[in-house]
Structure 1
Amino acid sequence: MSADVSVVRTETVLASVVEGYRGTFAAQEPAREVGAVLPAGWEGVLFGFAVPLADLRPDGTPARDGIIPEIDLPRRMYAGETTEFLRPLHIGDEVVQTTRLGSVVEKHGSRGRLVFVDVEREYAVDGEPAIRSVWHDVFLEAADPDAPVRSPRTDADAVAAADWSDEVALDARQLFRFSALTFNTHLIHYDRAWARDVEGLPDLLVHGPLTRILLMDAARRQHPQREAARLDVRAIAPILVDRSVRVVGRDEGDRTVVTALDAADVVLATADITWRDS
Structure 2
Amino acid sequence: MIPSFVQDWQQTKQRVRLVEKDTIDASSFNLMGNSLNDPIYHHDHLPTTGTELPPGWHLAYFPPRCPEQDLSKDGYEQDWKPPSPFDHRMWAGGKLRWNQKNRLRVGQDVTMTSQLKRLDWHPGGQRGDTLFTWVDKTIGNKDGWAVVETRCWAFVKDQPDKPLEKKKQKQILNQNILDHPDFTFSWTPSPIMLFRFSALTFNSHLIHYDQQYSKEVERQQDCLVHGPLSLTWMLDSLHRHLKKVDTNKYIESLEYRCYRPLIVRQPLVVAGKQQAENPGDFDLWVLDAQGNVAVHGVASVGFSM
TM-score by length of 1: 0.93
Is residue 77 from structure 1 mapped to residue 90 from structure 2 by the alignment? yes
Give the alignment of 1:44-63 within 5 angstroms: 44-63=59-78
> Aligned-pair distance for 1:71?
4.1
1:165 to 179, 184, 192: 184
Q: What are the superposed Cα offsets for residues 40-89 of structure 1, whole Å, 9 maximum, x if unpaired?
A: 111111101122211211111123x2x54434223101100111101311
Residue type at the aligned position of 1:151 = K
Aligned residues: 276
Q: Which residue of 2 aligns with 1:243?
A: 266
Q: Which residue of 2 aligns with 1:9?
A: 20
1:100 to 95, 106, 115: 115
SS at match of 1:227: strand
Cα contact 1:68–1:101 (8 A) shared by 2: no
SS at match of 1:49: coil
Distance 1:159 1:139 in 2: 30
Is residue 24 from structure 1 mapped to residue 35 from structure 2 by the alignment? yes
Residue type at the aligned position of 1:256 = F
SS at match of 1:23: helix
Give the alignment of 1:83-162 within 5 angstroms: 83-86=96-99, 87-110=102-125, 111-144=127-160, 145=162, 147-153=164-170, 156-162=175-181
Alignment identity in percent? 26
Q: Which residue of 1 aligns with 2:212?
A: 193
**Structure 1's 147 and 246: CA in aligned 2 closer, same or farther, altered over 3 A?**
closer
**Structure 1's 21 and 90: CA in aligned 2 closer, same or farther, altered over 3 A?**
same
Distance 1:47 1:235 in 2: 23
SS at match of 2:303: coil
**Structure 1's 258 and 39: CA in aligned 2 closer, same or farther, altered over 3 A?**
same
Cα contact 2:191–2:264 (8 A) shared by 1: yes
Residue type at the aligned position of 1:51 = C
TM-score by length of 2: 0.85
Cα contact 2:188–2:267 (8 A) shared by 1: yes
1:182 to 176, 181, 201: 201
In terms of mean alpha carbon deviation, does 212-221 or 71-80 score higher? 71-80
Q: Which residue of 1 aligns with 2:8?
A: none
Distance 2:164 2:182 in 1: 38
> Aligned-pair distance for 1:162?
1.6
Distance 1:242 1:29 in 2: 26
Q: Which residue of 2 aligns with 1:277?
A: 303
